[in-house]
């Protein structure tokens, strides 16, 4: 199978995140860490009916941003951190027009926002 064009992949991933509920769910899963969350918990925390949440989770999974695993009667969802890094790298790869110092404090901002 041929490798998908990085820009086409990024557009799909960003399109999946371009919805308030899906962005919120993605961030929730990122915060949950590698253990992830089960679908029912995600729907409850997001205040969204399970059937609607299934649609949103499927969209995020098709975009490659989350992974699912069936465990008996529940589906467990986790962030695909390698895809998240791939998307962030794509967005930042041509950053700053040759002046990387413009973005040098980005990690500091991220660390301080979680304090």
Give the pLDDT confidence of 17-48 residue by residue, as tens digits: 999 999 999 999 999 999 999 999 999 999 99
Write the pLDDT tens digit of every residue in 50-71: 999 999 999 999 999 999 999 8
What's residue 1's pLDDT? 47
Q: Which residues of 72-100 are buried (b: 16+ CB within 10 A; e: fewer)?
A: eeebbbbbbeebbebbeeeeeeeeeeeee
Taking CA atoms, 110 is separated from 5, 17, 70, in Å, by 29, 19, 33
Average pLDDT estimate for 101-113: 70
Of the pLDDT bands very low, low, confident and very high (cuts 50, 70, 90), residue 98 is low
Output b/e per residue, 37-67; b: 16+ Cβ within 10 A.
bebeebbeebebeeeebeebbebbbebbbbb
Note the pTM of the prediction, 2 decimals.
Answer: 0.84
Nearest by Cα to 8 from 57, 54, 64, 59: 64
Q: What percent of the chain has pLDDT above 90?
A: 68
Domains along the chain with CATH numbers: 6-113 (1.10.10.10)
């Amino acid at each position: 199978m041929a490798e998908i064009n990085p820009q086409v992949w990024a557009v799909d991933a960003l399109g999946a995140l371009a919805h308030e509920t899906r962005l919120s769910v993605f961030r929730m899963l990122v915060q949950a860490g590698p253990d992830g969350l089960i679908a029912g918990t995600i729907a409850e925390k997001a205040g969204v009916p399970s059937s609607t949440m299934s649609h949103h989770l499927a969209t995020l999974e098709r975009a490659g941003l989350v992974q699912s695993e069936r465990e008996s009667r529940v589906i467990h969802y986790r962030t695909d951190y390698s895809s998240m890094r791939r998307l962030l790298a794509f967005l930042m790869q041509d950053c700053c027009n040759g002046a990387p110092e413009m973005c040098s404090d980005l990690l500091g901002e991220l660390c301080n926002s979680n304090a």
